[in-house]
Amino acid sequence: MAEKSYHCQLCNCTLYGMKEFDLHCNGKKHKSNEKHGNEQEDAKRKIYVRGLEGITNPRDFLFKYFCNFGSLNDIKIGGNQGSSFAVVEFCEREPVARCLKMKHMIGGQCLYVKSYKNRTPTSGVSRMAHQKLEQDEKTKQAATTSHAMDILLSAASLTDQINLLAACLKLDAADEKARVQICQELTKLLSPLFEHCKICQFGSSVNGFG
């Protein structure tokens, strides 16, 4: 008689038999996905707040203000005195939506409120894929270096070597596009911490030497 199958929606996998299902639920992968799911759910009850410069006791200041929107679970203060920020956690998700729709001015102090985004952990499979990509890139770089050396050794003068090296390492359209995208992603990542920041290419990241 075939054992009954059980489907784990969290991990999107099918297990056969209660014993196998129990082992899966107590396993590392399931626990990791469960933790990540809880963290993502918690993030929906949080807001990210900047504009606390000059406030003597920001935690009390924020508590007195944001308790008007709903019950608070916790307030964490980060950064330094010159550029501090806070993560305000409500007990429910509804107050977050209300906070994000409003502009927050308190006694002439402007608070910048954004949704809180939790970092997504890298799975074991993703790490392995990333390591393979890194290894492939190293192999590619080694081949490129060897090819460049052959070309340079064939040059008649130092000037020719410099020109050949520049031509050999010149970025193609795909590389240029990729580096622009990296700058854009870094700008998005750092904007919550440093307002109006913009990451730009500079030096060797532009000419292909880096």
Express each pLDDT in 162-196 by its tens digit.
777 777 667 777 778 888 888 888 888 888 888 88
pLDDT > 50? residue 153: yes
Q: Long-range CB contacts (< 8 A, 24+ apart) of 86-91?
A: 86/48, 86/49, 86/50, 86/52, 86/58, 86/59, 86/62, 87/46, 87/47, 87/48, 87/49, 87/116, 88/46, 88/47, 88/49, 88/62, 89/42, 89/45, 89/46, 90/45, 90/46, 90/47, 90/66, 91/45
Least Cα distance to 27 among 5, 16, 11, 7 occurs for 11
122 within some domain:
no
Both 105 and 59 in one domain: the answer is yes
Could you tell me which residues are beta bridge partners of residue 167? none
Query: What single DSSP character describes residue 172?
Result: -
Both 181 and 198 in one domain: the answer is yes
Both 143 and 178 in one domain: the answer is no
pLDDT > 90? residue 88: yes
pLDDT of 168: 67
Q: Are residues 78 and 141 in contact, defined by beta-carbon separation less than 8 angstroms?
A: no
Instruction: Determine the structural domain holding residue 158 and report its residue range.
Output: 137-168
pLDDT > 60? residue 123: no
Both 175 and 162 in one domain: the answer is no
31 within some domain:
yes
DSSP 3-state of 106: strand
Both 50 and 107 in one domain: the answer is yes
What is the rounded CA–CA span in Å between residue 210 and residue 205?
5
Which of 94-103, 111-120, 149-158 tops mean pLDDT? 94-103
130 within some domain:
no
Query: What single DSSP character describes residue 123?
Result: P
Both 53 and 91 in one domain: the answer is yes
How many structural domains are present in the chain? 4
